[in-house]
Amino acid sequence: MANIFLMKSIFQTIQDFSVEELNLLDDLITIRTLKKGEFLLSENQVCNEIVFIKKGILRSFFLNHKGDEITNCFAFENEFMASFASFITEQKAEENIQALIDTELQVLNRKALEKLYQSGFNWQETGRKLTELEFVNLHKRMVSFQKLSGSQRYEELYKNHQKYLQLIPLQYLASYLGITPRHLSRIRKTVA
């Protein structure tokens, strides 16, 4: 069976769960592994699962009108990932989610989540709180696009997540920051 101790302890920080409530997870979580480059989700599929990253890195990207890949999100160990927009609306996703390195996931699918929600107040409230946290994260990213330039966003990222930067190909970073690889290369000369 999956070792979901860590995931449980994250839920525990959000809500004062009983052991029984947390143990509901045991039968609902499944395991999945992805090889480097493999896809968890392709655009035009409905996203029906939320994953917890036990090991590895995921990135989410979509295509612009020219067909360039635009990375809109990275997720690392001990973080949740999904196309939340698709999961919520049950519409086809615009994003692809791909493993940047070999990755090990703990999966909670829609039916499992609904079971949790139906099980009572606490899980329902946790769902709201987690959604709120996702909102706040997204809001921060949105603000960084409105008040910072591409190079300032890079500096922020460099300050806060330097350890990750080595792991991520520059082209993915560039589109995540909203600039071209050419320009990121220029910026790197002055910052790093």
Partner DNA sequence: AGTTTTTTAGGACATTTGTCCAGTAAAAGA
Partner DNA sequence: TCTTTTACTGGACAAATGTCCTAAAAAACT
Q: Which residues of this chain interact with DNA, rule CB under 7 A? A: 36, 149-151, 169-171, 178-186, 188-189
**Which tokens hold the place of 134?**
């996702």
The one of a second copy, DNA, none whose footprint includes residue 183, by CB under 5 to 8 A per kind, is: DNA
**Which tokens hold the place of 62?**
């979509």
- 177 vs 187, which CB is nearer to a second copy? 177
Q: How far apart are CA 73 and CA 71, in angstroms?
A: 6
Q: How far is the CB of 79 from a second copy (least distance, A)?
A: 16
- For tokens 């090991």, the residue is 55
> Is 90 a binder of a second copy (CB under 8 A)?
no
Q: How far is the CB of 65 from a second copy (least distance, A)?
A: 7
> Is 159 a binder of a second copy (CB under 8 A)?
no
**Contact window for a second copy (CB under 8 A) among 5-13, 30-38, 74-82, 84-92:** 84-92
CA dihedral 103, 108, 137, 87 (to 10 degrees): 110
Find the helix or strand (DSSP H, E) in which 105 lies: strand 103-109
> Is 44 a binder of a second copy (CB under 8 A)?
no
> Is 143 a binder of a second copy (CB under 8 A)?
yes
> Distances in Å between the alpha carbon of 29 and those of 8, 38, 51, 55, 58?
11, 21, 9, 16, 19
Closest CA relative to residue 45, chosen from 90, 112, 104, 110:
90
> Is 111 a binder of a second copy (CB under 8 A)?
no
Q: How far apart are CA 5 and CA 187, in angstroms?
A: 41
Q: Which residues bind a second copy (CB under 8 A)?
A: 62, 64-65, 70, 72, 84-85, 88-89, 94, 117, 121, 124-125, 127-128, 131-136, 138-143, 145-147, 175, 178
